[in-house]
Amino acid sequence: MITMRDALGPVTEALLRQARLDADAVAGAAEREAARTVADARREASAVISDATRQGEAEAEAHAAAARARARREARGRELAARREVLADLRGRVVAAVRALRDDPCYPRLIERLGELARESGGADLVVREHPDGGVVAEGPGRRVDCSLTALAERAVNALGAEVERLWAP
């Protein structure tokens, strides 16, 4: 006598085989989908890393450019300050040297000649008086000619113009 179990055995085996085939197919599809998901995630991660790297490099370059510009401005400021200091020192030395002319025996003749030059420049009616620091100042209505030794020294330095740059040129 064939039992139900014996009769259903081939059907059960066929169903089990089909279930295994279906399970293998589902597992294969799941593995392929998982592989695609992992590959997509890797591509996305790589793109994010590349974008972040480019952005980081751009920000670093911007910071570096700003730092270079700051350094150039600071260096230029120091250079200009040094030039001003050298020019101020030159002015001081020239003024001191010109004021030393007061001790020269020819100083009275220099005062006389400066007075003549002041009148020639501003008019014969100017009143000429000796300046306390040396030299003369001539004044008249609406006019003033400063031939003090300090003013003459300042004009001499200013007249150097671009030539004064030789002081700090290599």
Query: Is the CB of residue 106 less than 8 Å from the CB of residue 93?
Result: no
Query: What are 113-137's pLDDT values in tens digits?
Result: 999 999 999 988 999 999 999 999 9
Query: What are 52-92's pLDDT values in tens digits?
Result: 999 999 999 999 999 999 999 999 999 889 888 888 888 89
In the predicted model, is pLDDT for residue 168 greater than 80? no
In the predicted model, is pLDDT for residue 5 greater than 90? no
Residue matched to tokens 């001499």: 156
pLDDT at 107: 95
Give this prediction's pTM. 0.59
Whole-number Å distance between alpha carbons of 52 and 155? 61
Whole-number Å distance between alpha carbons of 121 and 168? 35
> What is the token pair recorded at 124?
């014969």
Largest CA-CA distance found in the chain, in angstroms, rounded: 158
Query: What are 89-109's pLDDT values in tens digits?
Result: 888 999 999 999 999 999 999
Number of structural domains the chain divides into: 1
Query: What are 135-144's pLDDT values in tens digits?
Result: 999 999 999 9
Residues 6+ apart with CB under 8 A from 144: 122, 137, 138
Residue-number span of the structural domain to which 8 is assigned: 4-167
pLDDT at 166: 78
Percent of the chain with pLDDT over 90: 58
Amino acid letter, residue 2: I
What dihedral do alpha carbons 47, 49, 52, 56 form, nearest 10°?
-130
Whole-number Å distance between alpha carbons of 90 and 151? 14
pLDDT at 120: 92
**C-beta pairs of 143-147 under 8 Å, 24+ apart in sequence:** 145/118, 145/121, 147/114, 147/115, 147/117, 147/118
